[in-house]
Structure 1
């Protein structure tokens, strides 16, 4: 893969760490700011909503700006947001800082995905997107466990200072490795919006919302789930997060390969498998080794879907992919917000933490029905891609 894609991966590593590190530090942030854990979980939701709002606005605002300049500007915005997170003294200020940090997220991932597919051969597009998303999985392997450990040892603010430093490294890599003459298709905003409104594109976006809602119904509350149900120690949570991060990395690579071979068929099977895994998690979460094994398999399968979902949207919006690709990041993060909200709401109404996998399973069943309907549509119109 070109070094240019590696530069994009470094940036997505920083962005992914910024988004997810808060999950491992929910108890610390809640204690320091004097709020409940469910309320602290809303810091995940507000970040996701910042992505939902920022992605389309910044995508439109930067549509005619050279791609390299756009990507660099987005990284600068990311650094500013995380510095503000580190400096925030109250819950409301941290909430506002999280929104600022999130504004760059959707546009960066959307544009980076399109740029990555332009830099490789057509039969390696899913793997190129998977490498961009590998930054997120590496964030969970290295960034989140390390950030959690740093936050527990030196205070949660130290984690955000570290994330800001990653942003500086990303700027250097993008300047050095990303070519300045990246081709830009001259596509009118009207065509971009027309493409976005197509039913097949909207269905693909809905799939991203549903799968991420399911994922984050559990993932947002992984630290309290492990501490209170599985009875894992504070140090043990960091170890489990590291194990899950390895699973996410495996899943991202697996998703890239499966997506290049058989996109729709692979997605259908993985969604069905996730339903079974979430049901199993409900029964295994109270026992350490079975819980960790189930979570590990869940992390592999869940993140294998991510590059596939992105490629599905890019494929269905092939005439004008830029806005649709960016909107898919809004869809991902709308799912993040809905998952965090759903989990927090259910907990607030008295649902036990152990029941969260069942709620996630219910959402994934809706995703499977949606996927099957989309698959039937592809068969009817004879889309040129293997379906099995």
Structure 2
């Protein structure tokens, strides 16, 4: 039986050409979709994170109130916007009013600076320079301000950029919250679709497990990082108000930000303790009580984080924490969630490969064979 080599070659060449054309079309469609969708990836990603984190609250609200999915999602979105938007607007309005008052006092020359205390010289490192600058401002404030014009100009530009960035971030978050509300309203169909995607990617056996791990990891990071930072900011904010520290709300916001960035809250609580003892109006007993409170609140994350981070997830807590920290270093705040999810899923896939039943069977067979050979010898 002879084989027509030319016919086989033509057949293979035609199939290979069809394969290359189909592959090229698929790549072109994927690239085009990525470029079209790229501007919406950040807000959609945050929408998914918020939807996954708030979905238990959404289900509880539906069960307790009997609301439809659309009404419950709308209520959560409205409450979220009010809880974040109203304090932000009040804080911004207060800050703007304070700035305008200061500028008005400069214009009418009613702004004065008190004479520095001699103890300022004894401050470590910066005492002499701080005392000299303070004395210059007390002696001739207009000349002192005029000498700082270049620095003030650059500072004002940086402040304006920071304010614009903050406002843009707030609007971005509101948009992500609205998207999360839409996702929660269609949560059942979305959950089913994600389950099918995971099953298609890693198989029907491991797909549901990977889906569950991803969901629980996002919620764990939301509670263990963002939740802990919010609790700590609330505790310290109450302490700042009780101690009479100026701009207590702004300092609480700073605590929230550094908590999300995984920095110690002691960076704010220690200066607050110094303010209580140096400039506070309370007695010794009150200062001791506030100091103990600030120390406990400053170390609260060390207790709360192990309790909430990794809760409900089969992945060890250090893996989730390392993923969150590494992701934040590489991709910012959103990397907290993405890094934790990717490392957790990778850990589960690796351990699933290590604990694969076929490998365990082969190992046990090898041990049995070695034992029997040894007995025969």
TM-score between both structures, scaled by the size of structure 2? 0.27
TM-score between both structures, scaled by the size of structure 1? 0.27
Larger Rg: 2
Higher relative contact order (CA 8 A, sep 6+): 1
